[in-house]
Homo-oligomer: A and B are copies of this chain.
Amino acid sequence: MQIDEIFEANKRLKNKKRITPLLNSPFLDEIAGRKIFIKAECLQHTGSFKFRGAYSAISSLPIEKRKKGVIAYSSGNHAQGVALAAKIHEIPATIIMPEDAPEIKINNTKDLGAEVILYDRLNESREDIGKKISEENLLSLIPPYDHTHVIAGQGTIGIEIAEQANQNGIEKADVLVCCGGGGLTSGIAVALSKLMPSFITRPVEPEGFDDVIRSLESGERQVNEQISGGLCDAIITPTPGELTFPLMKKYCGEGIVVTDEEVMKAIALAFTRLRIVVEPGGAVALAAALFHTKKCNNDTLVAVVSGGNIDPDIFRKAIEMT
């Protein structure tokens, strides 16, 4: 994985992705005791960073192969990203989603024109289902993270962070990234290792689902004991990716674990102080910036808010904390 691949993805995504703003608030700075900047990727098309990787991967397929259509498996955000990216390319998309995914994510994926196939997260392997259907129909599989062009697409956020950091006079920073399979984290880490060598990219995970952080500590890929039932559904994955883990090992600093309560508080503070809607999985990095500041090296922190597709009931509970 070279930074050139991220620059290439950035070219393909030009005028397709939204350049999301870097937000801040003196009230959040006061809580953290440091300067916090928030990369508001919840404002990306389909409400999460996943559109970038999906578009990057689809746009890099050879035209004849692409025309036959794509398939993806996802708990929701990757699904919507692939559905929209396929729609823009005017090709069919089939999405395999867990049957316990939030209803809004299933409906949004269908409304974006994709065919949705539901599966049982505990008893079936989405990888096996995806492989079977894609072989039968000659569809190209767009994996959620373990794919060079997907990682490169997510890495375009790193390019934007570097540009926006320069505009804001930020010379050194810890960059905290919500981490599931590691596509977003590794893409950003690769980009920043070249563009901003004094920045440290750190994965952030929810308590109980800290496979990446334990893997970085041990040097070997670790597995989560459970793979469903957490608040932060969007970033629950069994283990770090085969491609993403070596990249994170090479380019990331130590990770940070946050609690569900800290996540809910971060959602509430993003509501009152930034006026953005953040989903639990998208709030873990902000929670780390606000409540685990001491684990960071620099006076300036950049937290990537990775998604905003939250169940309204959970959001209502979060803002009761304001």
Contact = CB atoms under 8 A, between A and B. Distances in A.
A288 interface: no
A104 interface: yes
A271 B315 CA distance: 10
Contact of A320 (B42, B111, B278, B312): B312
A15 B22 CA distance: 13
Contacts of A42: 275
Nearest to A22: B18
Contacts of A309: 275
A27 B111 contact: yes
Nearest to A112: B26
A83 to B, nearest CB: 10
B27 A275 contact: no
A42 B274 CA distance: 8
Interface of A: 15, 18-21, 23, 26-27, 40, 42-43, 47, 84, 104, 108, 111-112, 167, 271-272, 274-278, 308-309, 312, 315-316, 319-320, 322
B322 A312 contact: yes
Contacts of A320: 312, 316
A84 B40 CA distance: 22
Nearest to A319: B312
Nearest to A275: B308
Contacts of A315: 271, 319
A40 B275 CA distance: 10
Contacts of A26: 84, 112
